[in-house]
Chains A and B, each alone.
Chain A
Amino acid sequence: MNKAASPLIEVQDLQVHFGSPAQPVRAVDGVSFQIAPGETIALVGESGCGKSVTAMALARLVPEPPARYVGGQILYQGRDVLQQDEDALRAIRGNEISYIFQDPGSSLNPVFRIGYQIAEAIELHRSDVPTRQEVLDLLRWVGMPDPARAARAYPHELSGGMQQRAMIAMALACHPRLLVADEPTTALDVTIQAQMLALLTRLQAELGMAILLITHNLGLVAGIAERMHVMYAGQFVEAGPTEAVLRAPRHPYTRGLLHAVPRLEGTRERLTGIDGMVPHPARLPGGCRFHPRCPMCQTRCEVEAPSAAEVDDTRWSRCHFWSEVPPP
């Protein structure tokens, strides 16, 4: 199913619930995956499917309350993140596991200067205060034009691309081993997106860190991720090497996602997409969670929830009829 080499982080049957224990909202419902050092993997799904919660849970960042970590383990270098105390967690956050978020404009604190925010990230994980030169070097490293000016600036004085570079500088200041990029390019212009992608790939090569990419952009996934996990309604529905999954999806949902992307080559078929919306986690349908929207839905799907079926030794699918999914 995956690499045997000791993984950097291993998530086992993670369950994150919101709402009251009596009526839980299962945002993440039994998710398992591993990330090897230096690997790039992607989490793909529509908004509201639980992929952001999964990503945030890796450093126990989903605020509790309202969230509750009901079950599962997140083993980071063999130790369970969910069992550790606040101090140990803080030592991991930003130091071992770093995050960059979708909208750099609101993710940076509006009332502190960029330079200060970066310096703070370093200072938290080191005993001494970083010099001004260190901060400038970091900014230059992430390709910030005129780092001195950027360090003095407040976030709103920078463009979206510059803000995201500042976020990356902040995230990578302590050379983390895992970078979680939560929709890192969604809020940016298309031209800037390509720059960011190139930047991330370069920095990954220099630091040898692993990247967990959260996105709904399949083009981005195809560009950098080695493996991908497709998430739907709090569960993974398909997982495998990126190329194989994109070429021959083994779950109707993955296929639907692919059909929602316009392509240049090939026949000019109609974009179909997927009917309906992601179900609310509090009101999940019975049987297969995808069955109300599934074009291949059969009676069995309405009553029996499928378990993960191995397609081959690198990939699996949560569909009763995975073998019948037509090519995209």
Chain B
Amino acid sequence: MARYILRRILQMIPTIFGVIVITFILFNLVGGSPGAMTLGHHVSPRLLEEFDEVRGFNKPLLMGLWSGTRAFEDADFSRSASPWQGKKGVQRQAVDTRSGWAVSFAPDESHLIPLRFPLHPETRFRWSFRYRLSEGAHAWIFPADADELDKDAEPWREGTPFPAAPDWRQWRTMIDTSAQPDQQQWMLYVTGGTLEIDIVRLQRRANHWFDSQFVHYLDQIRRFDLGYSSQTDQPIGQMIRAGIIPSLTLTVPIFAIGLVLAICISLVCAFFRDTWLDRFFVVLSVALMSINYLVWIIVGQYVLAFQWGWFPVWGYESMAYLLLPILIGVVSGLGTDVRFYRTVMLDEMYKEYVRTAFAKGVSRKGVLFKHVLKNALITVVTNVVIAIPFLYTGSLLLESFFGIPGLGYLGINAINSSDVDVIRAIVLIGSVLYVVANLFTDICYAWVDPRVKLT
């Protein structure tokens, strides 16, 4: 038994890792910038950069040293000369490069490289250029790190010169903001010809090869640090802890009442199978499950609470406020449950041991409530255990409609305000609970079914 549980726990690890990977892919990779998703697309790049800095989103994805920065967006010259758009002496022209476009810089002028905001201090950055210089031309970028000085070129003030090149060349220079904390301007200076730039890129250096978003994420999870909500600036762990109790006060009664009702009705169906009563319940359950969940809530709230005034309309102050949401939750889920448990019961009714029991002289009641029910309980128990994690996520709609400050309410708010970290935390915890519940399901299964041995 202990060995089985140990083995199952080991088997849980890949699944939990898979969940981590999927949430990572979903929120860090697919969505583009989580900052933009949360704060909106019209926020200043500086705010976004700060958002990313706090949450580690400006690191490389999996591993590596270099990642982009919003201070200087990678320029796409095929569309415009950005970020030099409209600057004097800068021209965009068609050339024979990948994008087909480059910008050329007029000679004997210094051209400011426009940064959107001062670079983060104590971080190292790197400029990369793909460029060419016309015959006899010289170009410098200044100021820049002296280490990278090309020895052959003539220095101009403290700038770093481009080595002369008629063909397309790569050139990089490192800059260290800790060395020049107040230096936030970079200039290009060209003499004796034109400088053409095909690609220009500013990259940020990570602390080490594995200083990546993924490792940062794993590290957060290891520390059980769920981060801060971007909406309320509260720690997410605290928000979730506060939301669990209201969620459970809603979902546990719904689940328990729904389960007992569904099993009772399904037993009635099994007892009176193929009679009008059974058919009535079948039709009723299909009809119940075909009514949209939203409609249950909206009409229930409008008619029962607002028009007839039987229940409070909105809030979370006393037990009375929970009654209507619980009622709606039970009724809307009843159809599916009755159908399921009725099938379970009827499947058992057609098993051969039922025939044996009847042949022994057991009454209909005895067969149903002793022989069949005990067998059906195997399915019921496993089904109940596996449903437990879903109690935790609460009911998204019921909570937000009735103003119950649980996790469902939290979730809906987070989705409405694109609060990525909150969603990610709820999804992550829900998944882990599900995996754990799966283990408990198997243990319960062995516990209620004598045929199953845990080995």
Contacts and interface: CB of A to CB of B under 8 A. Distances in A.
Interface of A: 56, 59, 61, 65-66, 86, 90-95, 98-99, 101, 103, 106-112, 120-121, 124-125, 154, 156, 167, 170-171
A55 to B, nearest CB: 10
Contact of B378 (A94, A95, A111, A125): A111
A81 to B, nearest CB: 13
Contacts of B362: 90, 120, 124
Contacts of B358: 61, 93
A227 B375 CA distance: 40
Interface in B350-374: 351-353, 355-364, 371, 374
Given A56-B355, A94-B360, 11 more contacts: A86-B363, A93-B358, A93-B359, A93-B361, A94-B359, A101-B359, A110-B375, A111-B374, A111-B378, A111-B448, A111-B449
A125 B359 CA distance: 12
A109 B354 CA distance: 8
B275 to A, nearest CB: 8
Given A65-B274, A86-B364, A101-B352, A109 B357 contact: yes
Contacts of A109: 353, 356-357, 371, 374-375
A120 B360 contact: yes
B374 to A, nearest CB: 5
A107 B351 CA distance: 8
A103 B374 CA distance: 21
Interface of B: 274, 351-353, 355-364, 371, 374-375, 378, 448-451
A106 B362 CA distance: 17
Contacts of B375: 109-111
B428 to A, nearest CB: 38
A274 B449 CA distance: 44
Nearest to A170: B360
Given A61-B358, A90-B363, A98-B359, A154 B352 contact: no
Nearest to B376: A111
A99 B450 contact: no
Contacts of B364: 86
B127 to A, nearest CB: 74
A107 B360 contact: no
A91 B361 contact: yes
Contact of A108 (B356, B361, B363, B449): B356
Given A65-B274, A66-B274, A156-B450, A108 B353 contact: yes
Contacts of A124: 360-362
Nearest to A154: B450
A131 B357 CA distance: 20
B362 to A, nearest CB: 6
Nearest to A64: B274
28 contacts: A56-B355, A61-B358, A86-B363, A90-B361, A92-B361, A93-B359, A93-B360, A94-B359, A99-B355, A99-B359, A101-B355, A106-B353, A107-B352, A107-B353, A108-B353, A108-B356, A109-B353, A109-B356, A110-B353, A120-B362, A121-B361, A124-B360, A124-B361, A154-B451, A156-B450, A167-B356, A170-B356, A170-B360
Contacts of B361: 90-95, 121, 124-125
A166 B375 CA distance: 20
A157 to B, nearest CB: 8
B449 to A, nearest CB: 7
A156 B351 CA distance: 15
A56 B448 CA distance: 32
B274 to A, nearest CB: 4
Nearest to B366: A124
A234 B36 CA distance: 76
